[in-house]
């Protein structure tokens, strides 16, 4: 993974935690082409090398905005072909976040509008600052959500609520997002990153192979019938049985000590 990013900051504070920050505060952390490519690189690298991290916290720079969506200043004057070429990067990014083998926690530190809301919805779960606001405003620009918004939001909060929010483009609060099921926890702004990091570290302490298999079983199984989901779960479970981590977990329990998982 490269370190010469311009629109994204990547930090490795230790213990398997990777903190990815949308870092264009002068532009409300809006998604330009450069940011799209850099985030895509981060998440595709994790797919190729899942041992590089055990959990990801995805947040925005500053205390007001997580991500304002696509950078409309950059998009001004784009031809249809240029617009679609850029959007392809964003489409691939959302798929990379959804397909990331390690858990992704979105720590929404402020406004998450349009593509920013879609990025948050693509994470495995969301913590939000109390003052954060969400919106899918694309219809007010004559387009629709095209980075998973119509799909991920529906799966999180239901069809009728999603229709109301997308068709009106109306913003909603972190408290509403929590009540409806998009946000897992609402935090005081100064506690948000610590809360997300604490949860990420707890995940990172667990068997990494088991975590990856559990994430996949939940995500894939949710799209299947219960019977197909049960079959998929057993296939994921069986992948953990012949691992050193499984043996270490049982041994550590019997020796009354914390396990030391190595991901093998």
Which residues are known catalytic residues?
118, 138
Q: Which two tokens stand for residue 246?
A: 């499984």
Buried b (16+ CB within 10 A) or exposed e, 143-177: eebbbbbbbbbbebbeeebbeebbeeeebbbbebb
Whether 213 contacts 237, CB under 8 Å: yes
């Amino acid at each position: 993974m490269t370190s010469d990013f311009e629109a994204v900051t990547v930090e490795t504070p230790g213990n398997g935690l990777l903190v990815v920050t949308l870092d264009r505060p002068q532009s409300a952390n809006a998604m330009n082409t450069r940011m799209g490519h850099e985030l895509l690189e981060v998440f595709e690298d994790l797919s190729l090398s899942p041992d590089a991290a055990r959990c990801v916290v995805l947040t925005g720079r500053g205390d007001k905005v997580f991500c304002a969506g696509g950078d409309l200043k950059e998009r001004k004057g784009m031809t249809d072909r240029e617009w679609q070429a850029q959007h392809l990067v964003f489409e691939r990014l959302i798929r990379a976040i959804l397909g990331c083998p390690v858990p992704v926690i979105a720590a929404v530190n402020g406004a998450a509008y349009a593509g920013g809301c879609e990025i948050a919805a693509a994470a495995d779960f969301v913590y939000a600052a109390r003052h954060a606001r969400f919106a899918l405003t694309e219809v007010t620009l004559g387009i629709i959500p095209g980075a998973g918004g119509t799909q991920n939001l529906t799966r999180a909060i239901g069809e009728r609520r999603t229709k109301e929010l997308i068709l009106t483009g109306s913003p909603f609060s972190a408290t509403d997002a929590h009540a409806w099921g998009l946000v897992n926890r609402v935090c005081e702004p100064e506690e948000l990153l610590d809360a997300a990091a604490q949860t990420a570290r707890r995940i990172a302490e667990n068997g990494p192979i088991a975590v990856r298999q559990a994430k996949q079983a939940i995500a894939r199984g949710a799209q299947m019938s219960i019977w197909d989901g049960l079959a998929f779960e057993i296939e994921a479970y069986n992948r953990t049985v012949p691992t050193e981590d499984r043996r270490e977990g049982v041994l550590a329990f019997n020796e009354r000590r914390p396990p030391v998982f190595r991901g093998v």
